[in-house]
Amino acid sequence: MKLSDIRQLVQVRVPELSRKRRVLAGAYNVAEYRAAARRVLPAGIFDYLEGGAEDETTLGRNRAAFDRWGFMPGFGAVTLPDAATSILGRPSALPFTLTPTGATRLFHPEGELAVARAAASAGLPYALAGLSTVAMEDVAAQSPSLDRWFNVGLSPDKGALSAKLDRVAAAGYRAIIVGLDTRALGTRERDSKNGFTAPPALTLASLLGIAARPAWWIDFLAADGIRFPNLEPAGADPSMVTPSMWEQILGHSESSQGWDDIEALRAMWPGKIVLKGTVNPEDVGRAASLGIDAVQLSNHGGRQLDRMLSPLDTLQEARQRAGDSVELIVDSGIRRGSDIVTALALGADACSIGRAYLYGLVAAGAPGVSRVIEILADELVRTMTLVGVSSVAELRARGTEVVRDLRVVGGAGVPVRADASLKRVDA
Ligand SMILES: Cc1cc2nc3c(=O)[nH]c(=O)nc-3n(C[C@H](O)[C@H](O)[C@H](O)COP(=O)(O)O)c2cc1C
């Protein structure tokens, strides 16, 4: 074989000098974006993004929950699957949203503005966190076409809540997403170890970790300081972060709030309401009876109550309780398009991604978020084709025809018996 023949077979790529462009060209799945994010962030900040509560049992189970299901494709003609759907009554290009994540400018100087841009250009809803580091009005001004949702905390101070809702409505947010799972602050022990507490008490090790990532430091110092403009009361000194704000910043909310307060909220907000942070079918039934529009089944990505069930553990039962009046959105652990296909087959109307888009943001800003969305979309469409469904509606209608529970033999509902599996091995 001549050298020119080899050249035709082997296409040598010129090495890409820009780190961001290298990541965008080479990272072909969410796990690769995670690895790239880990290389960029100081260890303590990566831990804040990644960590789960206590033993991180739920964090780990969130992935295992997807692995319990297997696809059972059926042969037949499939046209290129249409992954478009509607979420909260509005068309969405894909069956997933971008879920709220607080303090996003810690991960990238553009923070929520970059995420919003990527979500808007993909035609997906994005829920801005109450603890976002960019003002809700700035997101609205920069991304007017974005389907905007806002994360609102319940509060016994109904005057303050009403003022917040007026502000959210004035900024053109059409849905509010209300956390049910922050009655206490989940203990993320990685954060305690790193001094990522309220107020911060950074340890020498975490300061050294920050020093080991000079590029992150340079970006961080060149950008405006971190603020939480959606928490600050009007006229507050923007440089002041009070201890009570720190509590909110780290995820604590009022524990005195109950179903009466949700009912009051329903009366106060004429737009769509999403309740987020339960996996309990009873809560879904209750939400339906109060005229709530959607429930986001979630364990907060394993960051709040350790050992909490995963949404997939209760999804089918939740679907039964929801009926047709409440949409079900699933988050916690979604890293592949096939995860989304599994959740839709088990009864979800849509899914929501958290850490997955943050990895893209850290690694390459808005183009990184766009790339993660594109990767998930490609995986979703390929999985639908291989499973044998042509649309989201068909996938949801065929449901458990196309997924089987690996915990039962052949998915036929017969529990696995020790002797049965032994016989199979002997045979
Ligand atoms: C860094 C980070 C910050 C978060 N901040 C919030 C928040 O402010 N409000 C909220 O409701 N959920 C918050 N969440 C939880 C997400 O909305 C979502 O439930 C979770 O990330 C889903 O799990 P996944 O990241 O494994 O996909 C946060 C998650 C992360 C990773």
* Angstrom distance (rounded) from CA 33 to CA 39: 10
Q: pLDDT value at position 290?
A: 98
Question: Model confidence at 424, in pLDDT bands (50, 70, 90)?
Answer: very low
Of all residues in the chain, what percent carry a pLDDT higher than 70?
Answer: 85
Query: Would residue 381 count as lying in a domain?
Result: yes
**Closest protein CA for atom 19 of ligand 1:** 300
Average pLDDT, the chain: 88
Q: pLDDT value at position 198?
A: 64
For the beta carbon of residue 161, count every other beta carbon within 10 angstroms: 19
The secondary structure element, H or E, covering residue 278 is strand 272-278
Residue 131 alpha carbon, nearest atom of ligand 1: 8
175-221: pLDDT as tens digits = 999 999 988 888 899 988 888 776 667 777 777 777 888 888 888 88
Q: pLDDT value at position 216?
A: 85
Distance 102 CA to ligand 1 centre (A): 7
Residue 100 alpha carbon, nearest atom of ligand 1: 17
pTM of the model as a whole = 0.91
Query: Would residue 420 count as lying in a domain?
Result: no
- Domain that includes residue 106, residue range: 19-403
Q: pLDDT value at position 427?
A: 29
30-40 and 43-50 helices cross at what angle (nearest 10)? 140
Ligand 1 surroundings by CB, under 6 angstroms: 49, 62, 99-102, 129, 131, 151, 179, 276, 298, 300-301, 303, 331-334, 353-356
User: Amino acid identity, residue 340?
Assistant: I
Residue 355 alpha carbon, nearest atom of ligand 1: 25
Q: pLDDT value at position 248?
A: 59
Higher pLDDT, 100 or 20: 100
Q: Check: CB of residue 152 under 8 Å from CB of residue 268.
A: no
Distance 353 CA to ligand 1 centre (A): 9
Q: Tell me the chain's radius of gyration from C-alpha atoms.
A: 23
- Range in 118-127, 182-191, 245-254, 272-281 the model is least confident about: 245-254
Mean pLDDT for the stretch of residues 160-185: 94
278-312 in b/e form (b: 16+ CB < 10 A) is bbbbebbbbbbeeebbbbbbbbbbbbbbbebebbb
Query: Would residue 325 count as lying in a domain?
Result: yes
Q: pLDDT value at position 55?
A: 97
Question: Model confidence at 12, in pLDDT bands (50, 70, 90)?
Answer: low
Residue 301 alpha carbon, nearest atom of ligand 1: 23
Total number of residues shown for the chain: 427
* Angstrom distance (rounded) from CA 36 to CA 204: 25
Query: Would residue 54 count as lying in a domain?
Result: yes
Query: Would residue 350 count as lying in a domain?
Result: yes
- Range in 18-32, 167-181, 299-313 the model is least confident about: 18-32
Alpha helices (H) in 323-404, listed in sequence order: 337-345, 355-387, 392-398
283-313: pLDDT as tens digits = 999 999 999 999 999 999 999 999 999 999 9
Q: pLDDT value at position 379?
A: 98
**Closest protein CA for atom 26 of ligand 1:** 333
Query: Would residue 411 count as lying in a domain?
Result: no
* Angstrom distance (rounded) from CA 295 to CA 106: 28
Of all residues in the chain, what percent carry a pLDDT higher than 90?
Answer: 68
**399: which 2 tokens?**
């449901």
Structural domain total, the chain:
1
Distance 354 CA to ligand 1 centre (A): 6
**Closest protein CA for atom 13 of ligand 1:** 101
For the beta carbon of residue 9, count every other beta carbon within 10 angstroms: 7
* Angstrom distance (rounded) from CA 181 to CA 99: 15
Residue 369 Cα distances to 33, 62, 163, 244, 309, angstroms: 10, 22, 32, 32, 28
Query: At a CB cut-off of 8 Å and minimum separation 6, what does 196 contact?
Result: 44, 47, 48, 190, 202, 206
Q: pLDDT value at position 416?
A: 40
pLDDT over threshold 90, residue 239: no
**Closest protein CA for atom 5 of ligand 1:** 101
CATH of the domain at 136: 3.20.20.70
Q: pLDDT value at position 410?
A: 54
pLDDT over threshold 70, residue 253: no
Residue 298 alpha carbon, nearest atom of ligand 1: 19
346: closest CA among 377, 311, 380? 311
Query: Would residue 203 count as lying in a domain?
Result: yes
Distance 248 CA to ligand 1 centre (A): 14
Mean pLDDT for the stretch of residues 219-234: 80
363: closest CA among 182, 16, 107, 101? 107
Query: At a CB cut-off of 8 Å and minimum separation 6, what does 151 contact?
Result: 100, 127, 128, 129, 130, 131, 132, 176, 177, 178, 179, 276
Q: pLDDT value at position 220?
A: 83
Mean pLDDT for the stretch of residues 365-384: 98
Dihedral sign of CA atoms 275, 280, 283, 289 in order: positive
Mean pLDDT for the stretch of residues 25-54: 94
Q: pLDDT value at position 287?
A: 98
Mean pLDDT for the stretch of residues 369-397: 97
Distance 272 CA to ligand 1 centre (A): 20
**Closest protein CA for atom 3 of ligand 1:** 101
- Range in 215-229, 331-345, 389-403 the model is least confident about: 215-229
Distance 160 CA to ligand 1 centre (A): 24
**74: which 2 tokens?**
């059926």
Q: pLDDT value at position 419?
A: 39
Q: pLDDT value at position 384?
A: 98
Question: Model confidence at 155, in pLDDT bands (50, 70, 90)?
Answer: confident
Query: Would residue 299 count as lying in a domain?
Result: yes
